[in-house]
């Protein structure tokens, strides 16, 4: 079976013509229609319905997070090109006049700003780790979180939005608990997405580490099979990842001081369901008229 | 009738203890619980149910917007202290090494970043005006939009979050159409909020214009009765605005080139329903156990 669209341009144009998304002056920044939003919320509900740990804490993160916690994730080292840092103005009248003079001359008025105590999160679980108990219990920690990720990679491919939502199931515990979480959730995630009529499959994957050193890190990640993506063919150009299941080893345990009972750093794993990407896949697969989608798909999304 | 809490601290502590919101390392940045989220979505649905113009376009904005459009709003002139500008890294391996060296020395690594083509919106209707037809029809334009606002004013008052959601009904047209929109929606808004059991009232208000010049602008705005807030008493300290109805005169028409048939700049008005603030008011008023809220309130929020 071929992909529903030949190219990302074809897909984007169909969505814009169908009134599903609105393009803006900046590539990768879209306004969403109510259809998009209600489908996305339906996807979130369907993802939440897959939960297996009763009573696990659930957090919805705002689109900003503490700078200090973000720096602990080491994202600036591995993915500097994707980071979004926030600047604010802290001066008085005099400094404001100076700023406005530069702005009126067409200069860089942002040189008059200073770094805020917040940044944009690059991944949805980043704001979580700094808020967990540092003594990890024997069964590990099970957490759910939902929020926005900013990644600065302007593109006209509708699958590459600059800011998008992810729902994550996170496990912090032993290496065995973390690996089991990643693998069991990969199977569970594929099944949940197949229920939505998406012909999804898993692929070993790597993150887009930056620069020359990053190339080696990416190869290492792929060789060690730390990351699997859930992919679907929306265009003939390349598969689109609509989720991923990741084993972080002790990366977050080490940097956020999360310890197992023996004092060693906890390991962790997460599965991320790309809510905007899954919505995109649903519109690409089932068309822009939501009412005409298969009844079974609408039932899973709680769409009347 | 007294306010439900004596101080903002009391209110925040009750919400944190009740598991309704989670505090983070930064003042004004909260993780939300599922209860908060489902109440907020219920509020949004209730607000959407008040619509009077059938088929008006609806847009959900992402938490970022084009920088050029933001600059047109003149927010940097009037409220520089609230603005959030986004910086990104555009260098190569060499520039990255330099950035990391500064970061490791505890210096300002953000000096190695450059302004992105996007910023954080300060008000929800800001991303709208640059995407409207510039020839405004005789009946005016009716638009609905929902999204995130960033305002940098770190505080422990739970009513003063750094980033929060608003649903807006916007009118662009003649002065008469705009004023009628502001006034009719103020009445409609008060009635809709009263249905949720909130003892809300309207008050003439002004925006927090910056600096010495700003003081005069604020007085002028108040004198001209351009802005009304919908306020409720959540603490004994001061009333909390949970929405506002605003007449912009020709501010956005002028700067975004929106014209009436006679070529003059269009006027505009908006009513904003502060979704996070209304959720806060509901939890403050009805308690942290959503299931125990009055049946009529739950019915309006479509909460089972």
pLDDT tens digits, one per residue of A220-268: 999 989 999 999 999 999 999 999 999 999 999 999 999 999 999 999 9
pLDDT at B180 over 70: yes
Q: Are strands A30-32 and A21-23 parallel, antiparallel or unpaired?
A: antiparallel
Does any domain span residue B209?
A: yes
**What integer pLDDT is reported at residue A200 of this predicted model?**
98
Final residue before a domain boundary, out of B76, B101, B119 = B119
Residues of B in Cβ contact (< 8 Å) with A58: 33-34
**What integer pLDDT is reported at residue A304 of this predicted model?**
76
Please tell me whether residues B92 and B197 are part of one structural domain.
Answer: no
**Is the Cβ–Cβ distance between A82 and A152 less than 8 Å?**
yes
With a pLDDT cut of 70, the percent of chain B lying above it is 100
pLDDT tens digits, one per residue of A18-48: 999 999 999 999 999 999 999 999 999 999 9
Q: Which domain holds residue B212?
A: 8-84+120-300
Strands (E), chain A: 21-23, 30-32, 58-60, 65-66, 85-88, 114-119, 141-150, 163-173, 201-205, 227-232, 240-249, 267-274
Per the CB < 8 Å rule, is A31 touching B59? yes
Alpha helical stretches, state H, chain B? 8-17, 34-48, 67-72, 75-78, 93-104, 126-129, 175-194, 211-223, 251-255, 275-286, 295-300
Chain B 263-292, residues with CB within 8 Å of chain A CB atoms:
none
Per the CB < 8 Å rule, is A77 touching B85? no
Chain B 25-54, residues with CB within 8 Å of chain A CB atoms:
25-26, 29-34, 36-37, 41
Work out whether the CA dihedral B127, B130, B132, B135 comes out positive or negative.
positive
Mean pLDDT of chain A: 97
Per the CB < 8 Å rule, is B116 touching A84? yes
**What integer pLDDT is reported at residue A213 of this predicted model?**
87
Please tell me whether residues B115 and B127 are part of one structural domain.
Answer: no
Mean pLDDT along residues B188-192 = 98
Please tell me whether residues B201 and B262 are part of one structural domain.
Answer: yes
Please tell me whether residues B109 and B256 are part of one structural domain.
Answer: no
Q: Domain tally for chain B?
A: 2
Please tell me whether residues B124 and B164 are part of one structural domain.
Answer: yes
Tokens at A73, concatenated = 């994730």
Residues of A in Cβ contact (< 8 Å) with B66: 24-26, 29
pLDDT tens digits, one per residue of A146-191: 999 999 999 999 999 999 999 999 999 999 999 999 999 999 999 9
Mutation target for B interface from A152, A153, A302: give the one with most B CBs within 10 A. Answer: A152
pLDDT at B160 over 80: yes
Task: Identify the band that residue B1 occupies on the pLDDT scale cut at 50, 70 and 90.
Answer: low
Per the CB < 8 Å rule, is A88 touching B99? no
Please tell me whether residues A172 and A70 are part of one structural domain.
Answer: yes
Please tell me whether residues A66 and A80 are part of one structural domain.
Answer: yes
The kind and range of the H/E element at B249 are strand B240-249
Please tell me whether residues A114 and A139 are part of one structural domain.
Answer: no
The CA distance from B53 to A34, in Å, is 16
pLDDT tens digits, one per residue of A85-107: 999 999 999 999 999 999 999 99
Secondary structure of residue A219 in the 3-state scheme = helix
* CA-wise closest residue to B294 among B200, B158, B198, B201: B198
Per the CB < 8 Å rule, is B154 touching A100? no
Task: Identify the band that residue A1 occupies on the pLDDT scale cut at 50, 70 and 90.
Answer: low
Q: Which residues contact B64 (CB under 8 A, 6 or more apart)?
A: A29, A84, A120, A150, A162, A163, B86, B118, B119, B120, B121
pLDDT tens digits, one per residue of A39-86: 999 999 999 999 999 999 999 999 999 999 999 999 999 999 999 999
Secondary structure of residue B106 in the 3-state scheme = coil
Per the CB < 8 Å rule, is B59 touching A116? no
Please tell me whether residues B51 and B160 are part of one structural domain.
Answer: yes
Per the CB < 8 Å rule, is A90 touching B84? no
Mean pLDDT of chain B: 97
Mean pLDDT along residues B107-117 = 96
Task: Identify the band that residue A2 occupies on the pLDDT scale cut at 50, 70 and 90.
Answer: confident
Residues of B in Cβ contact (< 8 Å) with A33: 58-60
pLDDT tens digits, one per residue of B236-285: 999 999 999 999 999 999 999 999 999 999 999 999 999 999 999 999 99
Please tell me whether residues B108 and B128 are part of one structural domain.
Answer: no
**Is the Cβ–Cβ distance between A242 and A284 less than 8 Å?**
no
The CA distance from A255 to A78, in Å, is 14
């Amino acid at each position: 079976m071929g992909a529903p669209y030949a190219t990302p341009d074809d897909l984007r144009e169909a969505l814009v013509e169908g009134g599903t998304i609105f393009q803006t002056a900046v590539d990768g920044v879209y306004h969403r229609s109510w259809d998009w939003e209600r489908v996305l919320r339906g996807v979130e509900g369907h993802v939440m319905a897959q939960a297996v740990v009763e009573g696990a804490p659930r957090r919805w993160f705002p689109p900003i997070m503490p700078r200090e916690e973000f720096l602990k994730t080491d994202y600036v080292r591995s993915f500097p090109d994707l980071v979004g840092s926030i600047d604010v103005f802290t001066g008085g009248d005099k400094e404001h006049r100076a700023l406005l003079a530069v702005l009126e001359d067409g200069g860089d008025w942002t040189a008059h700003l200073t770094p805020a105590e917040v940044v944009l999160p690059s991944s949805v679980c980043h704001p979580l780790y700094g808020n967990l108990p540092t003594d990890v219990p024997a069964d590990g920690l099970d957490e759910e979180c939902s929020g926005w990720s900013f990644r600065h990679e302007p593109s006209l491919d509708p699958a590459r939005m600059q800011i998008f939502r992810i729902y994550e199931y996170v496990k912090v515990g032993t290496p065995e608990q973390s690996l089991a979480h990643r693998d069991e959730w990969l199977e569970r995630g594929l099944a949940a997405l197949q229920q939505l009529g998406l012909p999804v499959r898993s692929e070993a994957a790597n993150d887009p580490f930056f620069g020359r050193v990053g190339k080696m890190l990416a190869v290492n990640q792929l060789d060690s099979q730390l990351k699997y993506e859930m992919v679907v063919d929306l265009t003939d150009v390349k598969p689109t990842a609509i989720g991923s299941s990741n084993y972080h080893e002790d990366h977050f345990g080490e940097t956020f001081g999360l310890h197992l009972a023996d004092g060693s750093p906890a390991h962790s794993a997460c599965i991320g369901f790309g809510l905007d990407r899954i919505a995109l896949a649903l519109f690409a697969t089932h068309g822009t008229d939501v009412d005409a989608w298969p009844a079974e798909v609408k039932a899973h999304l709680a769409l009347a």
